[in-house]
Structures are given as C-alpha cells and as structure tokens.
Amino acid sequence: MTSQCTNRRSGITGVCRRHICALVLALGGAASALSSAPAAPLRICSDPNNLPFSNRHNQGFENAIGNELAAFLGTRVEYAWWAQRRGFVRNTLNAGRCDVVMGYPEGADGVLTSIPYYRSTYVFVTRRAQHLHIRSFDDPSLRRLRIAVPLVGDEGASTPPAYSLSRRGVVANLVGFSVYGDYATANPPAAMIAAVARGDVDVAAAWGPLAGYFAAQSAIPLDIVPVFPRRDGPVSQTFAISMAVRKSDAARQRLLDRFIRERQATIDAILARYRVPRVPS
C-alpha cells in the first residue's frame, strides 16, 4: 500500500523515500531562507552635527568607519542621533536606543571599550604667515599671544591644554571656546580653528582630528604641530580612541576588536583622508 512506509526487505518503500526526500528538500529550503534573512542593523549612537567625526549627512570619518563595520558584519547602519554632550551615553547607549559609539577614549568608565583604532593628540594651530613655530607649552611667546583653548560644559571645565597653560601661569590671554558651541550652526567645535584663520586669536590648542580636518579646508594656510610634552604632570595630551558598547555587551566588544584588527589598514586610510593627526602609543 502506498501509505505504508516500511517493509521487511528494504525498511523504507520507494513511495516513502520520495516523501522523505520531499521533506528534506522543504526543510533545506526553509533553512536557506532563514540563513539569507537580513542581519539586524548596526545601531550606532552618533552626533548629527559634529564634523569631522559625524553628521546626519554621513560625511564624517566615524560615519565612514561605521559603514565599513556594517559591511564587515553583512548589514547596514541605523543611527540614533543625539548631540554629543552631557548625558549622551545615558540617553543613547545605556538607554538601549543603539549599541555602538564609534569614538570613545580607551578604558573610559561606564562602558566597555574595544581595542583602540587610533591615537591622536592636542595640537597647536597657527597661521603659516605668522611663522610662530610653537611646539611646546614652555614656549615664552605663549605669554603674550592670544590662545584659544577648548572648555567643556556650561561650567567651563578645563581641558588638557587649558590645564597645561594655567599651571605655567598663562591665564590672562586665554580665550575659551566651548567644545559644544552653538548647536544651531554647522559643526560648532570648528569655531576655534576659524578664529585662528580670521586672526581673532594667534594660536589654538585644539584636539587633533578637529584641527586637521578644518585646517585643511581653510582658505588661510594653517600650520599644525603636536603639543609638547605629550604628558604634562598627571594630565595626558594624547588619547587612544576606541569604540564603546554597554558594559554587559562583551560579545559585541570582541566583534569590534576583530573588525579593528582585520580592517586596520582600511581604517587608517579613512583617517588619513580626513587629516587626522596620529601619534604612536
């Protein structure tokens, strides 16, 4: 009978074998459909107005590296946009709105960080025509020049360059620029580089990636020199930059480490394109 699946001689009838083959093919097709289903998107926490790092138009180097990471994972990027100022991680990564922050200091508290993918430094930015050639916080000319320094938050907390200058008594001629700036304008942190180009200040002590990118775009030729010393007392002027995930997300941290190791040459090419100054560890 065709409904019978076994007999004494063969164990499985020809009709039953056909049924089994059909079932195997059907299950194989279902497995293939599942394996070809699109991977979950790479959810990145990012600032929509913060070149050269990121913006809503996908023009920053963190956007470019995020695209490479998504390709490595076989998926696409989905952004959670939030201004990168106080509360950024709390309102994005730790709120579960996204899973990766593309640029974060190595070993920072409150998150897990990947291995670093670049190390940069604060730099002196001057107008080339001035021939100032400032290379050190100990340069005596800094006592008479107008110096732009970045400040953090509404309370104007000191950044490493501001600390190094103030500990040398260079205070009265400092001009503070908030790292947040006027968010109604494009790329607010670029204001201190524009101030050097206009001649509003003589020199800026700025974070390297910001300075390198906007100095290259300036119609007025600008010089960039890494600040010295790289460590001044307890304060470092250089920082290794990693990617960050939630503290509970060790599996994703390991995946980011693998991406950085396997795609470091591609990352380096992107950083070079954006004129990011890099220093050895």
Q: How far is Cα 162 from Cα 176, in angstroms, rounded to an integer?
A: 9
Phi first, then psi, for residue 40 (nearest 5°) are: -60, 145
* Beta strands in the chain, from DSSP E residues, in sequence order: 42-46, 49-50, 54-55, 77-81, 100-105, 112-113, 118-127, 147-152, 157-158, 174-178, 203-207, 222-226, 231-232, 235-236, 238-245
Length of the chain: 281
Q: How far is Cα 53 from Cα 119, in angstroms, rounded to an integer?
A: 14
At residue 39, the pLDDT reads: 80
At residue 152, the pLDDT reads: 83
Q: Could you tell me the maximum CA-CA distance found in the chain, to the nearest angstrom?
A: 105
HSE at residue 270, side-chain half, CA atoms within 13 A, is: 21
At residue 35, the pLDDT reads: 46
Q: How far is Cα 122 from Cα 27, in angstroms, rounded to an integer?
A: 59
pLDDT in tens, the chain (281 residues): 444 444 444 444 444 444 433 433 444 444 444 445 568 999 999 999 999 999 999 999 999 999 999 999 999 999 999 998 889 999 999 999 999 999 999 999 999 999 999 999 999 999 999 999 999 999 999 999 999 999 886 544 579 999 999 999 999 999 999 887 677 888 888 999 999 999 999 999 999 999 999 999 999 999 999 999 999 999 999 999 999 999 999 999 999 999 999 999 999 999 999 999 999 98
The amino acid occupying position 226 is P
208-217 and 191-198 are packed helices; what angle lies between their axes, rounded to 10 degrees? 50
β-strand 42-46 against 100-105: which pairing, if any?
parallel
Residue that is written with structure tokens 């994005």 in the block: 92
Using DSSP's 3-state secondary structure scheme, residue 129 falls into helix
Q: How far is Cα 85 from Cα 136, in angstroms, rounded to an integer?
A: 29
